[in-house]
Amino acid sequence: MAESLVLRVKRLMSGSVHGLVDAMEKASSENVMREAIREVDRTIDEVRHELGQVIAARHHANRRIVLSKAKQDELTEKAKFALTQNRDDLAEAALSRQLELEGLVPQFETAMAEAAENQNKLEGLVAQLTERKREMETELASFLAARQAAAEMSGSAPCDQGRRMSAERRVENAQHAFDRAMGHVSGMPGLTKTDRDVAQKLGELDKVSRNVRVAERLAALKTAGGAR
């Protein structure tokens, strides 16, 4: 889930939004109140768009798991057939590929679990934002009704220009502070030579380990009567 979108939702759901509405009410700024509601509406659309991507990623990961397991079964049968033809080299190749696929399954499962978790979070955000929009629309309706009632009772008083500018300036300053916070991007340190050496050795160790496991599986197939 994009961090910027999460922060934006938190800002919209926080108490600062209530303070913003209060300031707008004091400033008699109907247009600004409507724009705040439109911002919530736009954010709902963005969250729903990301929700669709997360759901697609979850289905994709699940499909990869199903296909991987089916391919593993297929490779087992191919390895057995290779042994009937006295082709240990082909059987080893099939078993080696089988091990690679097995190693990918946990990654797909992790991706699917993360997608499911993000899906739940995003669905919750949509519900919260929808409720927040309803509250803001109710607040706007109440504000308009109160303003209309006051106008009917005593006539419309001139707008306090200084107070309106002060409220709008506070809103603008808060938005600038939010934009600055969103603009920070953290970097990742590069790998040192020692890190690369260690990674190379670990790669060699993985290769040796895989070869041993292939040999063990080949021996197990032969013991089970695959070779004739």
Whether 111 and 131 have beta carbons less than 8 Å apart is answered as no
Q: What does the alpha-carbon distance between residue 81 and residue 93 come to, in Å, rounded to a whole number?
A: 12
Confirm whether 32 is domain-assigned.
yes
> Residue 120: CA atoms inside 13 Å, Cβ hemisphere, count?
5
Range of the domain at 41: 3-223
Q: What angle do CA 100, 64, 4 make, to 5 degrees?
A: 110
Confirm whether 212 is domain-assigned.
yes
- The predicted model scores a pTM of 0.58
Whether 13 and 129 have beta carbons less than 8 Å apart is answered as yes
Confirm whether 71 is domain-assigned.
yes
Token pair for 144: 């308009």
Average of per-residue pLDDT values in the chain = 76
Q: What does the alpha-carbon distance between residue 165 and residue 27 come to, in Å, rounded to a whole number?
A: 8
Q: What is the pLDDT of residue 132?
A: 87
Confirm whether 102 is domain-assigned.
yes
Q: What is the pLDDT of residue 148?
A: 80
Over residues 64-75, the pLDDT tens digits come to: 999 999 999 999
Confirm whether 83 is domain-assigned.
yes
Q: What does the alpha-carbon distance between residue 169 and residue 107 come to, in Å, rounded to a whole number?
A: 49
Q: What is the pLDDT of residue 171?
A: 45
* DSSP-derived secondary structure letter, 192: P
Confirm whether 228 is domain-assigned.
no
Confirm whether 114 is domain-assigned.
yes
List, for the chain, all residue ranges whose pLDDT scores fall below the cut of 70. 1-29, 154-193, 195-196, 198-199, 201-202, 225-228
Confirm whether 122 is domain-assigned.
yes
Q: What does the alpha-carbon distance between residue 102 and residue 84 come to, in Å, rounded to a whole number?
A: 24
Q: How far is CA 93 from its chain centroid?
A: 37
Three-state SS for 86? coil
Q: What is the pLDDT of residue 199?
A: 67
Q: What does the alpha-carbon distance between residue 10 and residue 188 come to, in Å, rounded to a whole number?
A: 26
Number of structural domains the chain divides into: 1
Three-state SS for 201? helix
Nearest Cα residue to 115 out of 70, 50, 67, 65: 50
